[in-house]
Structure 1
């Protein structure tokens, strides 16, 4: 009787459906981690660049000696703020990829379905963000094409 119980417990821990689901995710994990680390690195560089630009140009504006033209330093500060916003916003997808990879590692260790569900939630957030960015990009492309067509029509 004891060995039958032991075999049932082993069978539960080695569910073939769970293993089939986990295997492709485990193969994806290193690539997701690589993209996450590189994305967080680039986002960090953007934030550092933005802070240097904001602080450097703010100091130069306060000193008043670097810029002869009006607003030249102010535009740099605004660009720094825009870079800061983009650096923070674009840190989200790599963060979700990082959490995806960590959840897959945890699922491999614990063999819990809830860890795979967490990983897939992070993956969903990543792809939702990418989809929204693609739609925004396509909107800008369409608007640009309309302006080019109008400009071509007016100049003809």
Structure 2
């Protein structure tokens, strides 16, 4: 067997690692256009991240208020009879808000990491920093995809339960 024969099952080789900014005709260079597009993306990513953290803080404050309101309703706050039935519903709503607050925080954190990785890439121009930025971007979209699928499943389950409840309620 000759050493010049290409192995069809061998791992492909690439010389992308270690390339830097430039207009290299080999197709493996990180061009100034790539850097410019990421540089233009970063302020928007950072803005959405910061707004997400602000909404997270506001939701956390609201969640604490909901828990105190639900606790007051369960314990019989001023002017409320002890053990009012709506207290459990309010606490359930508080748990839902707590989950949403955590999700907003995680999403905002992913975006902040992506913005930081873009900043490092623009400063260094190395393929490793570009790969890190794209990794953070992929993590963000993976999280959003999972949450989207989870939301669809929850909506379908709620519709099935609602329709089933309506049918059962109508039968009696």
TM bracket (short chain) = 0.7 to 0.9
TM-score (norm 2): 0.68
TM-score (norm 1): 0.74
Corresponding residue for 2:88?
A: 74
Question: What are the superposed Cα offsets for residues 38-83 of structure 1, whole Å, 9 maximum, x if unpaired?
Answer: 1121122111110122134425544544433623223222321221
Gaps of 5+ in 2: 1-18, 24-28
Give the superposition deviation at 1:142: 3.8
Question: What are the superposed Cα offsets for residues 61-106 of structure 1, whole Å, 9 maximum, x if unpaired?
Answer: 4454443362322322232122112101221122111111111111
Alignment RMSD: 2.9
Give the superposition deviation at 1:140: 3.7
2:130 partner SS = helix
Gaps of 5+ in 1: 1-11
1:40 paired with 2:64, answer no
Separation in structure 1 between the aligned mates of residue 60 and residue 129 of structure 2, nearest angstrom = 32
Question: What are the superposed Cα offsets for residues 11-51 of structure 1, whole Å, 9 maximum, x if unpaired?
Answer: x7543322343222112111111111111211221111101
2:132 partner SS = helix
1:101 paired with 2:101, answer no
- Structure with bigger helix share is 1
Q: How many residues align?
A: 145
